[in-house]
């Protein structure tokens, strides 16, 4: 536990003059886009679009204090979420389908994105939570100095699908304090069937290792609010399709038994999921209890069980 005077990492990076070079390197990746593991090699700076459908400017679908995130992010005044438009993973069961697949949102200037961060901080939010940031890493970095100069001081949260390249994450080293990736699938069959990403399990493992290398286990301040570290989300799917057992064993053995994990029960069929498919139903209570048991059996000790609204530490 640390006191609330903890300084956000990007302030040190800004003082050290690191941001311009990171921004330049990040934008260079867009010329023949290899920002994420899709490696589409389109020139996003000239308007070409790859799998994510994102261009050269940031696009935002909404921003507001959010009270439905994990308790250490929400605290008393909410997590300052900025929902970015489009997605590089594009799960067929996405619960934000209109944003991720249909591109609902608006292009914003960099100074407007900085202003959004400031508005959220001024509302008392405990962090700036970029939702689906993978395909907008350069644009987020570009907006950041403007926000810092206006007085931004709360931690940044990188809230991604886990389909992130290590090279891209290294651009964020010493800038983001909190990483909150999903670990969606432990096996390539379902990852290919539902996301057209056969490499998802390997990519997510490497990405989560890099995130943990940068920020370590989740650290809370004296109010129980997250200041730095890794939180992992895992959405339990029907019929064990998420590979929950393997996910939990990987986290406990190769990341840390102190990994903060939110095991989510809210899957429901939506997006492109046909009603009679394997994902055509919600999970059962037994499937969810089994997922919790698998986490405990693997040796994980920090389970955020939102259904019961309590943090179980044991």
Q: According to CB under 6 A, which residues from 7 to 66 bind ligand SF4?
A: 33-36, 38-40, 42, 44, 50-52, 54
Instruction: State which of residues 79, 85, 88, 262 lies at the interface with ligand SF4 (CB under 6 A).
Output: 88
**Residue closer to ligand SF4 (CB basis): 79 or 139:** 139
Instruction: Examine residue 4 and tell whether it contacts ligand SF4 (CB under 6 A).
Output: no
**Residue closer to ligand SF4 (CB basis): 22 or 44:** 44
Alpha helices by DSSP H, the chain: 9-15, 19-28, 71-74, 97-100, 110-122, 137-149, 166-170, 188-195, 200-215, 244-250, 285-298
Distance, in Å, from the CA atom of 102 to the CA atom of 62, rounded to the nearest integer, reads: 15
Number of residues binding to ligand SF4, judged by CB under 6 A: 15
Distance, in Å, from the CA atom of 310 to the CA atom of 176, rounded to the nearest integer, reads: 26
Residues 132-171 vs ligand SF4: string with x where CB under 6 A? Answer: ---x------------------------------------
Q: According to CB under 6 A, which residues from 259 to 298 bind ligand SF4?
A: none
Distance, in Å, from the CA atom of 307 to the CA atom of 304, rounded to the nearest integer, reads: 9
CB of 206 to ligand SF4, least distance (A): 16
Distance, in Å, from the CA atom of 27 to the CA atom of 207, rounded to the nearest integer, reads: 20
CA-based radius of gyration for the chain: 18
* Closest residue to ligand SF4 in the complex (CB): 50
| Contact yes or no for 35/168 (Cβ under 8 A) | yes
Which parts of this chain interact with ligand SF4 (CB under 6 A)? 33-36, 38-40, 42, 44, 50-52, 54, 88, 135
């Amino acid at each position: 536990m640390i006191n609330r005077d903890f300084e956000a990492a990007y302030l040190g990076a800004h003082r050290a003059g690191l941001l311009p070079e990171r921004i330049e390197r990040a934008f260079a990746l867009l010329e023949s886009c290899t920002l994420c593991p899709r490696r589409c090699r389109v020139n996003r700076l000239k308007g070409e679009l790859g799998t994510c459908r994102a261009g050269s400017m940031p696009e935002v679908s909404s921003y507001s204090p959010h009270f439905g995130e994990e308790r250490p992010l929400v605290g008393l005044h909410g997590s300052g979420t900025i929902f970015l438009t489009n997605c590089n993973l594009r799960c067929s069961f996405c619960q934000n389908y209109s944003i991720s697949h249909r591109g609902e949102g608006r292009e914003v200037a960099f100074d407007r994105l900085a202003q959004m961060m400031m508005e959220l901080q001024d509302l008392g939010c405990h962090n700036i939570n970029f939702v689906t940031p993978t395909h907008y890493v350069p644009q987020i970095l570009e907006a950041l100095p403007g926000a810092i100069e206006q007085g931004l001081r709360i931690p940044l949260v990188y809230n991604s699908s886990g389909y992130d390249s290590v090279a891209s994450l290294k651009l964020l080293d010493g800038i983001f304090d909190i990483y909150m990736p999903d670990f969606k699938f432990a096996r390539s069959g379902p990852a290919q069937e539902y996301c057209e990403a056969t490499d998802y399990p390997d990519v997510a493992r490497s990405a989560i290792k890099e995130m943990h290398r940068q920020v370590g286990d989740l650290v809370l301040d004296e109010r129980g609010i997250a200041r730095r570290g890794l939180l992992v989300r895992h959405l339990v799917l029907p019929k064990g399709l998420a590979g929950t057992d393997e996910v939990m064993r990987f986290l406990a053995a190769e990341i840390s038994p102190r990994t903060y994990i939110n095991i989510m029960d809210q899957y429901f069929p939506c997006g492109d999921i046909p009603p009679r498919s394997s994902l055509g139903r919600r999970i059962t209570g037994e499937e969810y209890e089994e997922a919790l048991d698998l986490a405990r059996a693997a040796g994980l000790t920090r389970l955020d069980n939102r259904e019961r609204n309590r943090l179980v530490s044991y």
